[in-house]
Amino acid sequence: MSFTRRSLLRTGGVVAAAGVLPAGQAAAQEEAAAAPSVLTARNPLVEKRADPFITPPTDGMYYLTGSVPEYDRIVVRGASTLDGLATARERTVWRRPASGPMGGYIWAPELHRIDGKWYIYFAAGDSDQPFRIRTYVLESPSADPREATWTLRGQVVTGWDSFTLDATTFAHRDKRYFLWAQSEPGIATNSNLYIAEMASPLALGSAPVRIAVPTLDWEVQGFKVNEGPAVLIRNGRVFVTFSASATDARYCMGLLTADENANLLDARSWTKSPQPVFTTNTATSQYGPGHNSFTTVGDVDVLVYHARDYRDITGDPLFDPNRHTRVQRLYWNADGTPSFGVPVGRGELPVRLHPLDAPHAVIRHYEYRLRADGDVRELADSQFRVVAGFLGAGTVAVQSVNFPDRYVRVDGTNLRIDPYEDTDSYGRAASFVLEENRSGLSLRQGGSYVTHDTGRLVMAPPGTSREARERVTFARG
């Protein structure tokens, strides 16, 4: 069977091999639990769509909107799958007027289904003052937000008539909240984060409460910015991601956390993590990741964000068009906090591999050696891509995500990730035959398999017992 990097995407980075596990091992597909959920997509998902927002699945559909490089209109595309958004037809649902209010820059639309209607919250400047940005809302009664049934319902009035953008909304404990970025008079920042309860989808029902101000070193690079909030309620907490600093390679994401039982309108309920949670990564060539949203695929949480493929920008980064929409799986630490890892770079999404005999452990590299550990907080150390091998058709290689120039290589009976070398010996040591069944995948070289041995990863001949089969089988997640 011929393998290509594209074809290996079909099951989250692996495809069913032409063969099956050796005699005696096929029974593992009946004995083992189902593999963890796998997210299939390819990055970038959509090019030249900054500030991406993808809805949760709604009546079997995902909808995507975001800023277009011209900043002159609002677009929506829809598909029944996340990766289907990449090729879905895009429709313009609203254009800015030729003059007057909202005739300037159109930024960061978000699409929300509330009480049987669709709402788009967006930021717009005036034609003669394009940076006089305020927040506005569109409403549609249609079931499909791509239909041309949108009505402008006006400006969402906040506490001050000042620079206002990046509004989102969420419901929690029978209340609906509005969360946004704004420049508050008297505070020497570009934008802070605010929250208020909503009286309706069109208006606030309480006074704004300031919950975050850019003060830390990573929040004030180029500009003093907290913006682009996104909400995820999990594990007894309300998490709010946000973006900080200038919109070049210094752009990054931070995290606010509140207890789910706390008063969300009390600024003391919110704690800001001291370090950014998602940043530029030169190894994966992803620069300025940020302005994210969240969606889900089955039981998998998905991080949606934009980033560039290069660092150096000519002119104002705001007018560089190549902030592309990207997605990747959001994982969770054992303590219930989100684990973001690194922006994973172009191509198929990576997977994590779990030994079938130790399903709570995950394969990772540590000091370039492969091992199996539990609660790996360095997420990118445990993410891999299964790609075309170096020995031609029928072989695969296993590529590190955070060291993409390194591949899993057999060193005696041990396994390492080592830099690629264009040699026959490296090709033989880093190429495997992929064998797969319902339980997971196995990787064979000659008569030996990648085997889990009490936390170590080694090459060993296969056994015939159930325990031996499980040691050479790895579930994807």
194-229 pLDDT, tens per residue?
999 999 999 999 999 999 999 999 999 999 999 999
CATH number assigned to the domain with residue range 45-345, chosen from the 4 options 2.115.10.20, 2.60.40.420, 3.30.1300.30, 1.10.3450.40: 2.115.10.20
How much is the pLDDT for 226? 98
What 3-state class would DSSP assign to 379?
A: helix
* pLDDT per position as a tens digit, 394-406: 999 999 999 999 9
Residue 43 has pLDDT above 50, yes or no: yes
Q: What is the pLDDT of residue 11?
A: 34
pLDDT surpassing 50 at residue 25: no
> Which tens digit of pLDDT belongs to each residue from 308-363?
999 999 999 999 999 999 999 999 999 999 999 999 999 999 999 999 999 999 99
Average pLDDT, the chain: 92
3-state percent breakdown (helix, strand, coil) of the chain, nearest 5: 10, 45, 45
Residue 456 — pLDDT band, cuts 50, 70, 90?
Answer: very high
Indicate if the pLDDT at residue 372 is higher than 50. Answer: yes
Taking the C-alpha atoms of residue 45 and residue 61, their distance in angstroms, rounded to an integer, is 16
Quick one: DSSP state of residue 168?
E
Residue pair 328/302 in contact (Cβ under 8 Å)? The answer is yes
Determine the Cα–Cα distance for residues 72 and 127; give it in Å rounded to an integer: 11
Residues taking part in catalysis? 51, 227
Q: For the chain, what are the domain ranges?
A: 7-38+351-476, 45-345
Residue 419: is its pLDDT beyond 90? yes
DSSP state of 6: T
Q: How far apart are CA 102 and CA 96, in angstroms?
A: 6
Cα distance between residue 448 and residue 435, in whole Å: 12
Mean pLDDT across 185-200: 98
Query: Is 7-38+351-476 a domain of CATH 1.10.287.110?
Result: no
Which residues, 6+ apart, have CB-to-CB distance to 214 below 8 Å?
189, 190, 191, 192, 220, 224, 225, 226, 244, 245
The predicted pLDDT at position 436 comes to 93
Tell me, what's the pLDDT at 23?
34
> Which of helix, strand or coil describes residue 222?
coil
